Amino acid sequence: MAMGFGRKNTEEVKLEEVKVWECTSEKCNCWIRDNFKSSQTPTCPICKSEMRETTKELQVVNNNSIYANS
């Protein structure tokens, strides 16, 4: 009887260039996706420092929250 252990996931991981905000503190490596931010110019949820806008190559994730992009 064959078992399915070790079988590779055939679903392709989709990556795209995504706008993110990263913490400006050298002691913190927090970042958040732009479509998950809580304000127009977010502060770091971990250390409360300023955040700067940049991009990362990330797996596609949709935010279906009613507050997204508001």
Mean pLDDT of 1-26: 78
Return the bridge partners of 54, or none: 20
Mean of all residue pLDDT scores within the chain: 83
Scan for tokens 């392709």, then name that residue.
12
pLDDT greater at residue 49 or residue 9? 49
pLDDT at 29: 95
Whether residue 24 contacts residue 52, with contact meaning beta carbons closer than 8 Å, is answered with yes
Model's pTM, two decimal places?
0.67
